[in-house]
Amino acid sequence: MTDLPDYGIETLHRPVQPAECDILGHMNVARYVDAVSDAMFSMMTRFGLSRAAMAERRLGLVAAHLEADYRAELLSGDVIVMQSRVEHVGTKSARFAHRLYRADTGALVFEASHVSVFFDLEARRATAFPDDIRAALEQLKTTKGEADAA
């Protein structure tokens, strides 16, 4: 594997599956968003919102806004690596950025920025980040290029 840029925390590492490809033979646009979603679950575990913690606390994140740029095609069997980082932490929301690379060449194939809102799963409305999650998000905001995968 080629050395990748030091953009953020590795949140996804896997091959593109044949079922993710469309009639044109490349990874379908919806699957890039799936990769961002998978990367976010990895990231959420790092700041205290694992599946079990969300179920226990009845708190989570919901997507509110996504901007994406598709840079190059991905084909079935290409191994992809996503790096993610926290860019901003507000009172009830945070902005995250993700870059997807081809593992063998290190080529940037996709990048996205999105805002997620902290959500009370019982009340079904936005709520302020608790102190522990805010502190963990702020810590991740200063973390660049961790070597370990989530």
Q: pLDDT tens digit string along 124-142?
A: 999 999 999 999 999 998 7
Beta bridge partners of 80: 14, 102
Please determine, for residue 38, whether its predicted confidence score (pLDDT) is greater than 50: yes
* pLDDT category of residue 149 using cuts at 50, 70 and 90: very low
Of 61, 64, 46, residue with least CA distance to 132 = 46
Whether the predicted pLDDT of 2 surpasses 90: no
CB atoms within 10 A of CB 49: 21
Q: In which band, very low, low, confident or very high, does the pLDDT at 3 lie, cut at 50, 70 and 90? A: confident
Percentage of the residues of the chain whose pLDDT score is greater than 70: 94
Where is 137: in which H helix or E strand? helix 131-141
Q: What is the pLDDT of residue 142?
A: 74
Tell the burial category of 107 from Cβ atoms under 10 Å away from its Cβ (0-12, 13-18, 19+). middle
Instruction: Indicate the burial class of 33 (C-beta count within 10 angstroms; 0-12, 13-18, 19 or more).
Output: middle
pTM above 0.85, yes or no: yes
Choose the CATH number for 9-141 among 3.90.550.10, 3.40.190.10, 3.10.129.10, 1.10.443.10.
3.10.129.10
Q: What CA–CA distance (Å, rounded) separates 48 from 73?
A: 34
Break the chain into its structural domains and give their ranges. Answer: 9-141
How confident is the model over 63-116, as pLDDT tens digits? 999 999 999 999 999 999 999 999 999 999 999 999 999 999 999 999 999 999
The whole-chain average pLDDT of the chain stands at 93
Q: Is the pLDDT of residue 146 over 90?
A: no
- Closest of 102, 98, 107 to residue 38, by C-alpha: 98
Closest by Cα among 77, 74, 70, 72 to 18: 77
